[in-house]
């Protein structure tokens, strides 16, 4: 019986430590935002019908982007990009390879409505591959 308690205690302790590590990650890297750059050449946000992300001006965010190859891709293996034209120098020009990648970024400092788009020729639908990024004050 005592061993069972000990086991439960150890599991609870382990879960607690894992939770703390996760929390720490969120504060260190910013709020986690998930996006899919899909094989049908559309951006998607899990749980949303229309892909939109809302950020607070200047806040640190961790973008976790899963990319899937469309009909075309670059020779170097880049399958899509997530680019805000004009903010490339601030890091908003993410080249995406197949799979899931994470990027630490700072939300744009000017509130407003931005458009993120794919700048990698990815096949049918490429010209419409974009999504809204709303930046609130």
120 vs 133 by CB, closer to Cu ion: 120
Give me 80's structure tokens.
């899509």
Residue 81 burial (10 A CB sphere; 0-12, 13-18, 19+): buried
31 vs 130 by CB, closer to Cu ion: 130
Residue from 33, 96, 129, 135 that binds Cu ion (CB under 5 A)?
A: 129
We find the least distance from the C-beta atom of residue 41 to Cu ion, in angstroms, to be 6
Indicate whether 63 belongs to the interface with Cu ion (CB under 5 A): no
CA 105 – CA 92 distance, rounded (Å)? 8
Question: Which residues in 99-128 contact Cu ion (CB under 5 A)?
Answer: 118, 120, 122, 126
53 vs 122 by CB, closer to Cu ion: 122
At which residue do the structure tokens 């809302």 appear? 54
CA-CA-CA-CA torsion sign (59, 92, 81, 121): positive
69 vs 126 by CB, closer to Cu ion: 126
Helix or strand holding residue 7 (H, E): helix 2-29
Residues binding Cu ion (CB under 5 A): 118, 120, 122, 126, 129
């Amino acid at each position: 019986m005592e061993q069972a308690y000990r086991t439960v205690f150890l599991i609870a302790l382990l879960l607690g430590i894992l939770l703390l590590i996760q929390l720490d990650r969120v504060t260190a890297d910013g709020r986690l935002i998930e996006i899919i750059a899909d094989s049908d050449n559309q951006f998607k946000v899990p749980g949303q019908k229309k892909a939109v992300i809302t950020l607070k001006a200047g806040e640190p965010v961790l973008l976790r982007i899963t990319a899937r190859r469309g009909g075309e891709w670059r020779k170097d293996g880049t399958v899509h990009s997530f680019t805000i034209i004009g903010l490339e120098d601030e890091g908003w020009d993410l080249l995406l390879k197949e799979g899931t990648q994470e990027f630490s970024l700072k939300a744009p400092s000017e509130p407003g409505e931005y458009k993120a788009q794919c700048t990698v020729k990815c096949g049918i639908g490429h010209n419409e591959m974009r999504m809204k990024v709303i930046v609130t004050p």
